[in-house]
Amino acid sequence: MIRRSMKIAAGVAMFALLVGMAGCTKSSGGGSGGLVVGVSNTVSGNGWRETMICSIKAEAVASGKVSKVIVVSKNGGPTEQIQDLQNLISQGVNILIVNPSDPEKLNDVIKEATSRGIIVVAVDSSVTAPTAYVVTNDQTKLGELSMQWIADYMGGKGTFLYMRGAQGVQADTDRDNGVQSVLKKYPDLKYKEVFTDWDYTKAGQLATQEFSAADYAAVWTSGQDYTVVNAIKATGKPPVPVLGEETNEFVNQLINGTPGALVTNPAIVGGAGLNVALKIQSGQKPGDRVVLLTPQLMDAKNNMNDLKAMYDPKLDATASVSLSIPGYTTFTADQLRSCKGPGE
């Protein structure tokens, strides 16, 4: 039975789709179309990124317009990603969905792709290449919402552990900009900053080290949340509020009494990016190049029913539990969970 989809408001910034445009036609099988989609991802072994890839495959199947999805997913920086993108271009892809490792260093290879008629959409993090489209969660707003929740909880004073993502990646920079905009209002709020590289194991290890050596009133995480909760518990320290995302196990922890809150950052933004690319491919060009999806903050006090609806015991601990983005995804929950592209 398909779980009720979480309703995520899709706020659109600098982006206007033509009025009355038709949505992509759903298909249960996929492969009837002739388009080839390439996917470039630079963080492997991460449940959020894996869900992102699954959502691209699911949207490809649902559209009926894609015959093949080629995924390159491995840990690396701009140099490695440029090579991956060049390889995908050489394989004759029609669309490139890119989770960029840098906002500017991919610009030349993106220009090469678009000069060949390939549609390029950056998801999760932005790029400055003028010929690429961008579909991303509003990371600056995410930073603002989450930091304000922590500031309110702490009464504007004290020290928290600030566990960021990967240094230099635009999504992390944007989140930090949002966090810092709030901190300017609270001079008595202090923090210890560490980088997790969006790795759940590393985040747990860092939390163990930090809580073994010092006391913190709260923890801000860049989505590596449930391992941090487990690490604090293992040190024997009293639980403190943890700010995370809609990671399946973290949602379960919040339901069962862990203090904290989540800010939505749906991994299925990958599928939304493909949805936009397919509309562009069919001639429905947008008025501008950037889509921002609006995050929502939830905690057990105010959103227990929503949290219970989100949690799925059948999913992996690291799975992102958002199942749809209205107006930007057309796949079913079953298509997402199968994680199979056309012909697979």
pLDDT 10s digits, 297-306: 999 999 999 9
State in words which class domain 35-138+266-305+316-338 has: alpha beta
Backbone angles phi, psi at 132, to 5 degrees: -100, 145
| SS3 label, residue 257 | coil
> Residue ranges per domain, the chain?
35-138+266-305+316-338, 139-263
CA distances from 120 to 100, 124, 188, 289, 344 (A): 11, 13, 44, 11, 24
Is residue 146 within 8 Å of residue 211, measured between CB atoms? no
Looking at CATH, the fold of the domain delimited by 139-263 is given as: Rossmann fold (3.40.50)
- Distant-in-sequence, close-in-space partners of 304: CB < 8 Å, separation ≥ 6: 255
Give the tens place of pLDDT for each residue, 130-175: 999 999 989 999 999 999 999 999 999 999 999 999 998 889 999 9
Q: Are strands 297-299 and 260-263 parallel, antiparallel or unpaired?
A: antiparallel
Is the confidence at residue 62, as pLDDT, over 50? yes
- Which of 333, 202, 208, 325 lies closest to 270 in space, CA to CA? 325
Q: Given the structure tokens 């203090």, which residue do they identify?
A: 259
Rounded distance, CA 305 to CA 133, Å? Answer: 36
